[in-house]
Structure 1
Amino acid sequence: MKPNILKLIEEEIKNDNVRMLKLDDVATIKVGKSLTRNHMNNEYQFPVMSGGFKPTGYYDKWNYENIIVIAKDGQAGFVTWMNQKFWAANGCFVVETKNDQVLTKYLFYILKLKEPELMAKKQGSIIQHLYKKPLGDTIIPLPSFSLQTKIVEILDEFTSLEAELEARNKQYNYYLNHLLNFEGKKGRDVDFITIEKLCNIRKGYTPSKKEKSFWSNGSFPWFRMEDLRLSSSRIINDSIQHITLDAIRGNNYFKANSIIIATTATIGEHALITTDYLANDQFKNLEIKDEFKELITPKFLFYYSFLLSEFCKQNINNSAFPSVQMDEFKQFKIAIPPLEEQNRIVNILDEFSRLEAELEAELEARNKQYNYYLHHLLNFEGEKADNVEFLKLGEITEIKAGKHLTLSQMSDNFKYPVMGGGSKITGYYNDYNSENSIAIARVGQVGSINWMGFKFWAISTCFRVKSVQENINIKYLYYFLKTKEYEIVNQRQQSAIPNINKGNLEEIIVPVPPLEEQNRIVNILDKFSKLTSDINEGLPAEIKMRRQQY
């Protein structure tokens, strides 16, 4: 994001030029016109939008173009920009700006940001709908028209990145399925061999933490899930943590060019390790047996492991601690074409990995500017420490674990999002126990910090944090804790199920400036967050999807 745009946004905020208006004040909300299925035909030209993510069919007439569509029924609250002629059916709203002071595309981006809030407004016990009145009451921040234009320019660029990624993703998925589909080719230069026969399957382990010497000044790599998350390519030659050679049981380590794959917790995550190593017990380690090393390359097995990953996710036991059913895992068959064909496939998939890395670099560069600004505003060292108190988080907030829910209690037809031990909504429930508060993952993606600006149900795998003092802006606390997220993640307790302790959270020191300064910081960071984080959510999601669908 260009520095002059950052200054413009900050000046707008300082000059108090941003008005907060209801959607009804700035736009007209209309329901589409009913259309039965027997009027539709896939041979017709114009898509029909209703209460879903995608067109429900095609019609030979249109009633709108270049306008915002919000699902009223079905996926109620889902926001779409329709930049073409289409038919709006009665399962959706169309939103049209009332005057030339509001840029339609700007309004779309704001509503897209508020999509979780809109979805939480749906009503109904069995079939849920979004009604016009609560939709019209949605608050829209309205800066000057010039700033709206700048914001749209920036976000259109983000959208083009997402579109490019989606196109590459579709192309990659086609190649992946085409290249690795060897059905019907058995006996024609292609062998199918089970994992159990092809590889030595060994479980990872963690050397004793009590033996301090094992973890002091070591040079031997010891891998855990964090190493995989920090690697864009998932082809890794070193780890964050190292151990000494004395920590290796009977010199029994895992050899270079093995695959590690998670069979508990974050099931299916995997990598190719190109150095001798150890890994923790979340992973199974697949080392190609000597008799097959001239028949299959480690890189081909790595790419084929994306299919194994999906298999793992579909073959999980139903115990309290989900894990892959190992009997089925061992019988998973790997297709082994001739080496020449393996190398051809690897070269194609390597090129897609390179394109993905370019997109990630683009995303990282954009986010660095936001993160710099975030840390700059929340740095209270030196002269900025005047009038700033330093208090423990436990002194100014109440931290509570959420309440347990089973999957059978959730339904997509319910109103309130459910938040647990991750960074995404896990489902919907018909009640809520929190609103406008911070959620911190207690297990799962331990330490992940999320702002929940709407009513939601916090389950037992996350903490909910709310202020207990009037001079604290809870959104300010959220932004501050985001700067400490890495430290919080590293406070997790290593056990069978890694978790974070409430007491450790309560000890975090928080700089507390006057409430007026907190509000100023929140106003600025809210704007930057919307421009560089929330709208960008689709891009990291697509990148993650690409990894999962390799």
Structure 2
Amino acid sequence: MSRIDDLIQELSPGGVAFKTLGDVGTFIRGNGLQKSDLTDEGFPAIHYGQVHTHYGTWATETISFTSPDFAAKLRKAEPGDLVIATTSEDDQAVGKAVAWLGEAATAVSGDAFIYQHSLDPKYVSYFFQCEQFQGQKMRSITGTKVRRISGDSLAKIKIPVPPVEVQREIVRVLDSFSTLEAELKTELKTELKARRQQYVHYRHLLLTFPDDVPRAALGEVSTKVSSGGTPSSGRAEYYDGGIPWLRTQEVNYNRITTTGMTITEQGLKNSSAKWIPEHCVIVAMYGATAAKVAINEIPLTTNQACCNLQVDPAKAEYRYVFHWVANEYERLKALGEGSQSNLNAQKVKNYPIPVPSLERQREIVSILDNLDSLVNDLSQGLPAELSARRTQYEYYRDKLLTFREAAV
């Protein structure tokens, strides 16, 4: 930051001028471009929704195109302009901007503004992310479910306008922060992938048994096998009660300590859902998570697409059964039917499992639980580390974009 301080002292010793976005540029609304108009090739095009989902601070290429004939009718951002999404259901996302730095113009949809200005484009785009902009913007957002901001409101927002040399130095520093953040994210994800591969490798080794180890069906090592039920939809009195209700999409090799939905006593009576005790092995039978497995750490109820195994502790360790079913995912899923490989309770109940001594099962569980913890600790640490870096980045970005205002 000393380089920036030196530049300000040299080029703007009396402080930095603050101007409105309308003073240094013009807002032009995009037009006409719908998602259905987007193609894989043709004239470059940016739809406002893509500003939220695909683009960062700046872009040199579009991910979508439209036909040249149709593009001729559309308003376009020239290189150096900003493309600003003006609507969102999230106040924080209203006014998200991307600096267009491509070699030629790009067509822009409605619900977006093209901002033509006289500043460094990346500098302005970084400003649109900072707390100064967010604080001013919030006062002008309108709408109920869909939130929006007008061009007139954006034009009144004040932006510090240091000399262009300072703008470019700020951009250089913030670009380097962004690069470091991306490198860290890649490094941590690579480490997580390696640990997961290691875990799967050792799990397979530990769960490969000689022929003399007894086999049984999952139903034979369980005291009870059941599935749940779903209360009638559209009945408010059946939902948002105090009874945890698990859906298949929540089953993902995890320990269930809470559920995304709850039902009421009336909902429980209306459906075939039943309470199951903690430490059941729950196998998803339908949909995208079919054949995936979880363990409930709390008593709960489930929908009908969950097969719930209450493991007999005299025959098997429930964590051993969990690890076995997780290891058998591909083979168990192959027994499913239809486009989503849906299972049924009978197939799960009849699926074979080796049953070594309880002592050996506990040894296997201890090793796999430790390996699982290593993976999960990093998995939980990854977003925490990235969040910490993001917070640090945002702090320095806001600091870099804070100036003493020059006297008028």
TM norm structure 2 = 0.48
Higher relative contact order (CA 8 A, sep 6+): 2
